[in-house]
Amino acid sequence: MRRLSVLCALCALLVAAAGRTLHNCVHITPQSPVVELHTNLTAFCILNQTCLQEFSYAITAQELYWKVGETEIPESHYTVINDSVSSVTFEPTPSMRDTVTCAFKLYGQTPRTLHGIFFRLGYPPEKPENLTCICNNVQTLTCTWEPGRPTIIPTTYTLRQYWVGPDLVSNTEMMQNLTPSASPQIPRPFTSRRSEEKKACVAGDKKNSCTLNYPDFQLYINTEFILEAENDLGKAESDKLEFKDIINIVKPNPPEILSVSAVLQKVLRIEWKNPLTAPIILQYNIRYKPLGSSEWSEVPSDDLERTRTSFILQGLQTYTVYVISMRCKPNSTGFWSDWSKEHTGTTSESTPSQGPEFWRKISKTDSDEKRLVQLMWKELKSHANGIILGYNVTVKNATEVIDSFILEDTTCNITVPRGSYDVVLTAFNSQGSSPPSRLRIPSFTGEKEMQPADMKVNAFPKDGQLWVEWTPLKGVLGYVIEWCSNSESMDCDPEWQREPSTVTKTFLRGDIKPFVYYLIRLNPLYTDGKERPSYVGTYLQQGVPDVGPIVTTKASGKTWVTLLWQPVPLMKRKGFITNYTITCKGNDVSETIPVNASVTEYTLKSLAAKTTYSVYVTANTEEGGKPGLPFSLTTLPFDNGEVEAIVVSSSLGFLIFILVLCFLFCNKKEQIKKHIWPNVPDPSKSNIAQWSPQTPSRHESKRHPFQDGPFTDVSVVQITADKKEEDGDPDTKSVDPIKKNTSEGLSSGIGGSSCLSSPRLSVSDSEGISSAQNTSGTVQYSTVIMGGYQGQTPMFSRSESTQPLLISEERPDEQPSVSEDDTQTPSQYFKQNFTAEDGGRIQEPPPTAQEPPAQVLHLAGFSKGLDNLDFNVNPDDQPQEDEAKTYLPQTARRGGYLPQ
C-alpha cells in the first residue's frame, strides 16, 4: 500500500509537470490589459508548434476557440492569421467576467484550456474642475476639486505647487502686509524669478481634497497650483490656479468671546481674543438679538476695521438679555471665519417704559345695586426694564379716591356702587414706576350692550396664526379683543389683548390650536366705558368631526317617520357644520338626503308599512363628514286612528245588522216561529187512542201496513218460550208473544219513532185496560215486528224514542175519521177485548203468504228486556184475515211487556 501511494504521487507530479510545460507552449498578448468601457479588446493566442510536438500535440489555430469567463465568444469574432496565431476582437461589458481564455477540444470532444489572461474595465480620468484652495488660520492649506466621471479603476490625483518669485518687491508693498512684530517664519520677499515645484500632495480616487501643512506653503509669494489625475487609461490636468499671496486665501478661526457685561443703561461691553498668531490685520463682524427673538442686528463694519479685542454695544433695551456672536477675516481679502459660539449678556434695569395692559369684567348687580368687578392686567415683558416687584391699583370717582392697594398678582376683585369709576394701574421695579394705565368702569343704568352698526369683524387663519380684522371707528380710545375656546358664549375666563386705536388688524397672541372653535369678542373702548362689543367665531384649521349625530325617533306612522338628532358637541366638531346627510337603507333601497346645518329634525316619507329601516346621519364640514351610529326603526302596520276607524266602522255595521235582524223578527215573527218552533201534535188527541186490535178502524186498509214502507231487508227470528210462573207472584199471567214491528218508513221523523208505536202504559191484571194518564213526560213506543215463521205471532220491540206519535203527519191519507166524542178522551190510548177462551192471549191474524218475513230490529236495551219476558206462543192461533195489524201497549214487568 505504501508503494502504491508513492507511485500515485509520482504520477501526479509528472502530470503536473506535463501541464505546466504544455501551458508554456501557448502565449496570449496583451497580458493583463486595461480596457476602456465601450471599446474593443483584441487578443492574440500564439502556439509554439515545436513545443507542442514534444508532447505529441498537433494543434492548429483553426482548432482554437475563445471564452470570456464561462461564455464562448462566437466564431465570427475570430481571425486566423496562420496555423500558429488566432486572434479575437470583442467589446467587454461590465457584466462580463474579467478573464479571457484560449482553448481547444481534445479528440474533438473534451474541452481543454491552453492559456488565459485577466483584463480590467474602466474610464480614463476627466479634467478636474473648480479647483479651490483655502488657507485655514495660516496653519493648513486645503484644496478641493470636482473629479468628474468616476473612473472605476484606481486613479491618482496629485496637487503640484509652484512658487514664482518676482524680479523686485518694494519695501512699501512688503510693509503693508507686515506688522511691527514680524514673524521670523515669513520668507524673504526678495527672490529671483524662477519656477520651482515644491512638495506635492497626492490623493486617491475616493477623495476630492488635499491638505498641505505649514511650512509646506509660504505667505507673500506668488504660488501656482495644478492638479493632475492619472490612471492606466490616461492622464488629465486642471486649469492653473495662481495666487499672488497666500494671505489672500486665508480663512481665520472665529474669535473667542471672553465676556459680555453691562456698564451703563442700555449698554454692553464685549471682549474677545484674536484667533491669529500671525501679524495680520483682521476685520470683525458683531451680531446681536434679544433672547427669544429670531431677527439678528449687526454692528456696521466701518466701526470694526482695525485690530481690536473689545467693543461697546449701545442703543439696547434696558434689562434685556441679549445673545451675541462674532466673526472675522483678513482686512479686505480672504474669507470670513465661521460665527463664534453665542454668548449672552443682560443690560441694567430702568423704570418701566409702559404701563400694563388693563381690562375688567363686570358682573351683575346685587340687591343693593352694587357690582362685582374683576380687574385683569398682563405682565410687562419688553417694557418692564427690570424685575417687576408689584402693582399699585387706585380706584377713584370724580371727587375722591375710593380705594388703593398694592398687589403682586395680575388680577383682583372689587365691589363698587352703581356710579362710574376710574381705575389707575402702575407697575414698579427697583428703578421706579411705569406710566399709569387707566380704565373706566361705567355707571349702571340698566341699559343693554349696544352693537355698533358701522363696525364689521372678520377672523381668518394666516401663516399658522389666527387674525382678526375690523373696520376702524372714530372717537375710540383703543380696542380689547377677548376669546374663549370651545364655547358658544363668553361665560368663561377669556384670554384677551389690548390694541391701540390706530390698529385695525392683528393676530391673537396666545396658544391658538387647530380644530378648536374660538369665540372672539371685539370691544371698542369709549370714554364713557360702556361696552358695545362685536362677536365672531372661527377656527385656525378645520377638520373632520370626531363623532356623528345620535339619531332617535320622535314620531312614526305607517309610511313616515320623524327623526330627531342632537348636534355634534362643540368640542368634537373640529369645524363648522355645513350640512347634515341622512342615509336610509331598507328593502335593498338606499336613499341619501342632504339637509341644512340648522335642521335637527326631519320626516322621512313614502316608506313601506311594517318595514325595518337602518338610518344614520352624517355631519359634514369643509374637510369631510363623520357618520353617526346606525339606528334601526320599524314603521307601523297602521296609521294613527286607522285602527279606531276600523273598529268604529265594524261596530256600526254590526249594530246596523242587529237592528235589521230585530226589525225583520218583529215583522216576520209568525213565519220565523213556524220554521224554528213548529206546532207539535198532541198524541192524546190522536186517532190511535180510539183503536183496538179486535175492532178495526173503519178506514183500515186491507193491504199490508208495511207494503209501502222502507223495509228492504227483514230477518225472522222464532222465539219459543215455556209458560212460567214466577215463584211468589200469584198475579203472574201467561203472556202471548207479541209481534213487534219496526218500520223506519213509518217513523214520524221526530226522534226516529214509528208512526204505529203506542205509549207505554202501566195496567194491572184485575183492572184490564185503564186509562193512561196524559202527561208531558217521556212517552215510549213499541214497534211491531210483523211476519216470522208459520204460526208465529207478532212481537213488540221496545223503542226508546221520546217523541209523540204523529199519525196525521206520517200517513194523512190513511187517517181514520174520528168522531167528536173520540177526540175528547185524552186519557184513553187503547181499547182491548179479552175473553176467557183466549186465556188472556191476544188474537192476531196470521201473516199472509204474500207478506215477506219481517226482520227483527234490535234496539238499545231490547236484549235485556227479552231476558225477563215469558212467551207462550201457540202456532195454531191464526188471526183473522180481515183484522188489521194493531199495536198493543205493554205493561212493564221486570224489564218486559205484558198484553193489556
What residues does each domain of the chain span? 20-122, 129-169+190-249, 252-346, 358-441, 457-539, 550-634, 680-900
Given pLDDT bands bounded at 50, 70 and 90, which one contains residue 806?
Answer: very low
> What mean pLDDT is predicted for residues 765-781?
40
Report the distance separating Cα 709 and Cα 701, nearest Å: 14
The answer to whether 473 and 455 are in contact (CB under 8 A) is yes
Given pLDDT bands bounded at 50, 70 and 90, which one contains residue 720?
Answer: very low
**457-539 — its CATH code?**
2.60.40.10
CATH among 3.40.50.170, 2.60.40.10, 3.30.300.20, 3.40.190.10 for 252-346: 2.60.40.10
Give the model's pLDDT for residue 691.
Answer: 59
Strand boundaries in 339-400, DSSP class E: 343-346, 358-365, 371-377, 390-396
Q: What is the pLDDT of residues 450-471, one digit of tens each?
A: 555 578 899 999 999 999 999 9
Q: What is the pLDDT of residues 87-136, one digit of tens each?
A: 999 888 877 777 888 888 776 677 888 888 888 888 899 999 999 999 98
pLDDT at residue 525 tops 80: yes
For 226-270, the DSSP string reads EEEEEETTEEEEPPPEEES-GGGGEEPPPPEEEEEEEEETTEEEE
Rounded to whole angstroms, what are the CA distances from 353 to 204, 384, 433, 500?
A: 65, 7, 9, 16
> Domain 550-634's class?
mainly beta
State CA 797 to chain mean position distance.
93
Q: What is the pLDDT of residues 420-429, one digit of tens each?
A: 899 999 999 9
pTM of the predicted model as reported, rounded to 2 decimal places: 0.47
Given pLDDT bands bounded at 50, 70 and 90, which one contains residue 648?
Answer: confident
pLDDT at residue 404 tops 50: yes
Q: Which residues are within 8 A (CB) of 730 and not within 5 positions of it... i.e. 6 or more apart?
A: none
Give the model's pLDDT for residue 112.
Answer: 81
Q: Which residue did the predictor score with more confidence, 537 or 825?
A: 537
Q: What is the pLDDT of residues 862-899, one digit of tens each?
A: 444 444 444 444 444 444 444 444 444 444 444 444 44
Highest mean pLDDT among 294-308, 474-488, 668-682, 777-791: 474-488
Q: Which residues are within 8 A (CB) of 708 and not within 5 positions of it... i.e. 6 or more apart?
A: 745
Q: What percentage of the chain has pLDDT greater than the value 70?
A: 67
Report the distance separating Cα 871 and Cα 867, nearest Å: 11
Highest mean pLDDT among 170-179, 436-445, 777-786, 788-797: 436-445
pLDDT at residue 814 tops 80: no
Highest mean pLDDT among 174-178, 257-261, 370-374, 850-854: 257-261
Given pLDDT bands bounded at 50, 70 and 90, which one contains residue 198?
Answer: low
Given pLDDT bands bounded at 50, 70 and 90, which one contains residue 23?
Answer: low
The CATH topology of domain 129-169+190-249 is Immunoglobulin-like (2.60.40)
For the ranges 217-221, 301-305, 513-517, 717-721, the lowest mean pLDDT is seen at 717-721
Peptide bond into 215 cis (omega under 30): yes
Using alpha carbons only, how large is the chain's radius of gyration in Å?
72
Report the distance separating Cα 37 and Cα 397, nearest Å: 99
> What mean pLDDT is predicted for residues 730-752?
39
pLDDT at residue 727 tops 60: no
Given pLDDT bands bounded at 50, 70 and 90, which one contains residue 772?
Answer: very low
The DSSP symbol for 575 reads S
Q: What is the pLDDT of residues 57-86, one digit of tens each?
A: 778 888 888 988 888 888 888 898 888 899
Rounded to 5 degrees, φ, ψ at 76 are -65, -20
Taking each continuous run of H as one helix and of E as one strand, the counts in the chain are 8, 54
Q: What is the pLDDT of residues 604-627, one digit of tens each?
A: 988 888 889 999 999 999 999 999
Is 173 in a helix, a strand, or coil? helix
Closest of 215, 222, 220, 224 to residue 197, by C-alpha: 224
pLDDT at residue 753 tops 50: no
The CATH topology of domain 20-122 is Immunoglobulin-like (2.60.40)
Looking at this protein, which amino acid is placed at residue 242?
A: E
Reported as type and span, the H/E element at residue 205 is none
- 371 strand-pairing partners: 365, 416
Q: What percentage of the chain has pLDDT greater than the value 90?
A: 27
Average pLDDT for the chain: 74
Given pLDDT bands bounded at 50, 70 and 90, which one contains residue 583?
Answer: very high
pLDDT at residue 519 tops 80: yes
Question: b vs e for 246-263, b when ≥16 Cβ sit within 10 Å of the residue's Cβ?
Answer: bbebbbbbbbebeebebe
pLDDT at residue 696 tops 80: no
Report the distance separating Cα 333 and Cα 523, nearest Å: 60
Q: Which residues are within 8 A (CB) of 240 and not within 5 positions of it... i.e. 6 or more apart?
A: 224, 225, 226
Looking at this protein, which amino acid is placed at residue 669?
A: K
pLDDT at residue 692 tops 60: no
Give the model's pLDDT for residue 18.
Answer: 43
Give the model's pLDDT for residue 557.
Answer: 86
Give the model's pLDDT for residue 176.
Answer: 42
For the ranges 226-230, 318-322, 761-765, the lowest mean pLDDT is seen at 761-765
Report the distance separating Cα 525 and Cα 501, nearest Å: 9
The answer to whether 839 and 776 are in contact (CB under 8 A) is no
The CATH topology of domain 358-441 is Immunoglobulin-like (2.60.40)
The answer to whether 794 and 739 are in contact (CB under 8 A) is yes
C-alpha cell at 497: 389683548
Peptide bond into 794 cis (omega under 30): no
The answer to whether 787 and 847 are in contact (CB under 8 A) is yes
Rounded to whole angstroms, what are the CA distances from 276 to 180, 329, 409?
A: 15, 10, 54
For the ranges 24-28, 530-534, 703-707, the lowest mean pLDDT is seen at 703-707
For the ranges 388-397, 494-503, 807-816, the lowest mean pLDDT is seen at 807-816
C-alpha cell at 239: 486649469
> What mean pLDDT is predicted for residues 398-415?
90
Give the model's pLDDT for residue 847.
Answer: 45
Reported as type and span, the H/E element at residue 368 is none
